[in-house]
Each structure stands twice: as C-alpha cells, then as structure tokens.
Structure 1
C-alpha cells in the first residue's frame, strides 16, 4: 500500500482546456448578470432565487406595495408569515419600527437568521420565530417542493385542494418532487393576541405579509379576532384558490375593509412582435402594477391586498 508521500508524488489531474474556457466564460457571464444581486444567501436553481440574484429584487409588486404603505404611515410594524429565507423582510423591512418573522422550516430558518444579520446587523431587533401559525398547537409534516423552497405547504388542514397544491408549483411527478420535515405550529389567535396586546402599541398602523400556501385563512381570521379596533393594517397575501369568496373574507372583520387584486399591466406589442416591443421600450414605454377593487365577479387569483 502506498504511503502518503507516494500518493502525493503520483497525483495528477487532467482536464479539457475547452471545458475550462467554457466554464470561465460562464463565470464571467454570471458575474456580469449578478452585479446587482441582493446581498443575501439564496439557494441555487430555486424558483425564488432568480430575481434576487439577477437584479436584487424578489416579488416586485409586493415589495413596491409594502414600500408604498410604509411611506404613507404604515411603518410601525411588519409581520412576515412564511418568511422563508427573509427576502421580503430583508429587502423592504429597514424602515419599520418592529418586525416579526415566522418560518417553521428549520433548514431555511437558519438562512433567515443569517440574512437578517447581514441586513440589519448582529444586534438586530427583528423577532424571529421558528414556527408557523394554524388553528391549534401541534406538530405537522411540511411538504417542500425540491425546486421551490418558497412553496412549502402543510397538507393537513390545508384550505387548498390537493389539485391546487400540486399545480401551483407545476409539479408533474409528485412522488419525486418533494422533501418532508416535521415542523411546529402554534395557535394563531393565542400568539397574535399576545403580539397585538403586548408588543405593538395601540393605534399603530403596519403591514402584514402572508405567504403560507393555503393556511392564510387561519391567520387572517386570527388577525380579525385579535387586532385592536384602533389599529389599521394592510394585509398582503397570495391566493391560488379561484373559489375564494371576497365578501366572506371581509366579514371576518367587524369593521370596514377593502379587498384588492394587484394587477399587472405589462408592455405589449401587436401580434406579440418582440422587435416592436423593443422599439416601444426604447421609446420609453412602461409597464404598471395597479390595484383593482375585488368583488364577487372577479377571479381573486394572485397577490391580494386586504385593507383593515
């Protein structure tokens, strides 16, 4: 058997110079493409990683809406349910007085901790909770799409159908598409009641972001039951259920509420002509995101805003 010195003397690794040049070219392109990347850790080849890596944003419409409310006096608190690795909190949270993050998946929670420390400093005042909220205290299995860590969901008690849960992430072979982990869930009303009664001053205005893949109704009901009447909040949440009833949702709150859909109006060209679109863009054409008031005649799919 060769000793360590013999092994060292015989070491030789060869590689294709053509392959080396190809990889170096890709690395140069990657460096150029990601020159405006967010200063955060993200998971390679994951759906939620592309925007932060390429131009330093995550969900542009959601972030701009949060910033809009933050700049108009809704800056006392930010509650981030389904915080994941902290993209929303880290990209738009700096001007809020208090921030509370909730992420039950320990694997991504560790990255959330790191990203928050990178953004707000080691002595940050962000409250990080390694649990999710539901209708009671329990441990449940979290289903995590392998290509979309931001799309993890709790199957038990979910308000979405199994069809919606599969289709929302474009899953074709469910048996090979997921990882599974046990997570802690706490009672929404109990925990939110404590936050609103002891940690957020009465009369405060703030923003709540909810991205919990079918568990939104539990949290929204709990907000309705615990938020003081003197407080006002803009609740931004995602909905994949076309049968969501806007009136039923608003009736959770015993006060005036308004529900909106964030609508995207991109720049378009006749017959989808790419060259014509480029010309329009060069001439200053702009796409827009606007809010449209939802009623029961609208299909409430996408990012929604509930103003309370």
Structure 2
C-alpha cells in the first residue's frame, strides 16, 4: 500500500491532445452560444434547456402571451400548474401581484425553489406547492422522459393514448427512455377552490397548465371552482385530436372563447430566407379562433367576468 506522499509523487494523468483541443473548441463555442443565457438552473442535454441556455427564454410565444395579458390588466395572479423547474414563472412572472406554482416531482421541485429565489429574491412571496392536481387525493407514479424533464406525466388515468405519450416526446424505443418516481396528487377542485377563495373579487389573472394529459381534470376543476366575477386567461396544450371545442365548453360555467397560438415563420428557401432576414423580414405568432374540427396545439381559453 502506497503512502499519501508516494501517491502524490507518482500521480500522472494522460489524455489525448486531440480530445483536449476538441473540448476547448467546444468550450469556446459554448461561451459564444450562451451569451444570452438566463441565470436559471437547467439540466444539460435536456430538451427544455436549449432555449434558456442559448436564447434566454423558454417558450417565447407563451411567455409573450402571458406578458401581453399581464400588461393589459390581467396581473392580479399567475397560477402555474405543472411548473417543472419554473421557466414560465421565472420568465413571465414579474409584475403579477400573486404567483402560485404546482409541481409534483420532488427532484425538479428543489430546482424550482432555487430558480424562484434567483428570480424573485430569497424573501419572495411565490407560493410553491410540491404536489400535482388531479381528481382525488392520492399517491401515483410519475413517468419522466430522460431527455425531457418537462414532459413528465402520470400514466394512470391519463387522457392521452400511449401513442400520443410516445409521440409528444419523439420516443421510438421506450425500453430505457424513462425514469420513475412516486408523487403526491391532490384534489384539484378543493385546492383551486381554496386558492380562488383568497383572491379578491373582480380579479383578473393568467393560468398556465402543462400537465401532459391531465389537462381535462384540471380544466374541469377550474370550471367548478372559479368565481364568476373574476376574469381568466387559461393557457394550455392539447395533443388529443379527439377533443372538440364542445368538450372544452362543458368544463366551464360560462361561454368561452378558444384560441390557438399560431406561428407564421419565414418559410422560403434557406438562402432566400437568410437574405430576407437581413433585410428585416419578420416571422410572427398570432392567435386564431379554434374551429370545431381541430383543437390541438397551444391553446388559450378566455373567460371574462360575467358581472
């Protein structure tokens, strides 16, 4: 057995110089492409990490939509259901009087806490709930795609088919694509009813939902719990082509208007697109009213006060 001094005197680590050069080239590239990076903690190699690291935003269309509503009086509250590591809350939450987050995954919840502290300060008043919302109080298994922490879902009771759950994360071989963890789920109607009871009458705010197939449970609970004299902009995604506008209407106690976020990029040939971009051409995101046939995509339900 060698002594500590003998180990130190004989220590040598050899490496291939080509690997060293490649690593440092990548380090230089990383510094260049992350100049706009946000200060938040994200998971390297994860799908949801690309935009925050490179561009300093998460989902720019959703974030701008939230900011637009916030800037037009819907600033009393932001409710982030399926908050994950807090990207939507942290990029869009400033300016709201109250913020409430729900995230069942205990691993990412700790990152959510850190990112909220980075964004809003150590003495922030953001309400963080380490449980998910469903139709009852229970403990369930969360399925987490290894390359997309933001795509985690609960299989039991999920309204998406197995094919949709695979397709949404581009998974072709599920045999080693997931991790699993037990999480706490609480009755959405009860939890949201308590939350809405504490919000002043006449309030206006935004609700963002990202629960990967549990949206119908949450939307139905919102419809039962929300006061009629408040106004809401509810943003969520739907991958199920069988859902219709009539199905969404059934969740609520008043008429709804349903929109889809639509992207109009510059779609010409690559060289022409580049030339047009240098000349000031712009792509755009807009909202279009949803027809009765196709209700998939990133959706917005607008519920104006009935009083």
Corresponding position of 2:280: 284
Alpha-carbon distance between aligned partners in 1 of 2:179 and 2:26, rounded to the nearest angstrom:
30
State the shift of 1:18 in Å. 2.8
Q: In 2, are the aligned partners of 1:250 and 1:259 still within 8 Å (CA)?
A: no
Alpha-carbon distance between aligned partners in 2 of 1:100 and 1:152, rounded to the nearest angstrom:
20
Alpha-carbon distance between aligned partners in 2 of 1:125 and 1:239, rounded to the nearest angstrom:
31
RMSD value, Cα: 0.8
State the shift of 1:268 in Å. 1.4
Corresponding position of 1:74: 74
Listed as ranges, the matches of 1:166-205 within 5 Å are 166-198=166-198, 200-205=199-204
Corresponding position of 2:140: 140
Alpha-carbon distance between aligned partners in 2 of 1:22 and 1:159, rounded to the nearest angstrom:
46
Local SS of the residue matching 1:40: coil
Aligned length: 303
Listed as ranges, the matches of 1:19-98 within 5 Å are 19-98=19-98
CA shift digits 1:89-116 (9 cap, x unpaired): 0001010000000000000000000000
Corresponding position of 1:101: 101
Local SS of the residue matching 1:194: helix
State the shift of 1:173 in Å. 1.0
Alpha-carbon distance between aligned partners in 2 of 1:110 and 1:24, rounded to the nearest angstrom:
32
Alpha-carbon distance between aligned partners in 2 of 1:292 and 1:74, rounded to the nearest angstrom:
20
Alpha-carbon distance between aligned partners in 2 of 1:254 and 1:107, rounded to the nearest angstrom:
36
- Confirm whether residue 307 of structure 1 aligns to residue 302 of structure 2: yes
Corresponding position of 1:225: 224
Local SS of the residue matching 1:78: strand
Alpha-carbon distance between aligned partners in 2 of 1:232 and 1:105, rounded to the nearest angstrom:
30
Q: TM-score, normalised by structure 1?
A: 0.97
Alpha-carbon distance between aligned partners in 2 of 1:19 and 1:11, rounded to the nearest angstrom:
21
Alpha-carbon distance between aligned partners in 2 of 1:145 and 1:2, rounded to the nearest angstrom:
45
Q: In 2, are the aligned partners of 1:266 and 1:287 still within 8 Å (CA)?
A: yes
Alpha-carbon distance between aligned partners in 2 of 1:275 and 1:245, rounded to the nearest angstrom:
40
Alpha-carbon distance between aligned partners in 1 of 2:128 and 2:65, rounded to the nearest angstrom:
23
Listed as ranges, the matches of 1:127-276 within 5 Å are 127-198=127-198, 200-269=199-268, 273-276=269-272
Alpha-carbon distance between aligned partners in 1 of 2:275 and 2:219, rounded to the nearest angstrom:
45
Unaligned runs of 5+ in 1: none
Local SS of the residue matching 1:225: helix
State the shift of 1:184 in Å. 0.1
Q: Which moved more, 1:114-123 or 1:1-10?
A: 1-10
Local SS of the residue matching 1:212: coil
State the shift of 1:28 in Å. 0.9
Alpha-carbon distance between aligned partners in 1 of 2:142 and 2:216, rounded to the nearest angstrom:
18
Q: In 2, are the aligned partners of 1:236 and 1:305 still within 8 Å (CA)?
A: yes
Alpha-carbon distance between aligned partners in 2 of 1:6 and 1:281, rounded to the nearest angstrom:
63
CA shift digits 1:220-239 (9 cap, x unpaired): 11111111111000000011
Q: TM-score, normalised by structure 2?
A: 0.97
State the shift of 1:302 in Å. 1.2
Q: In 2, are the aligned partners of 1:247 and 1:295 still within 8 Å (CA)?
A: no
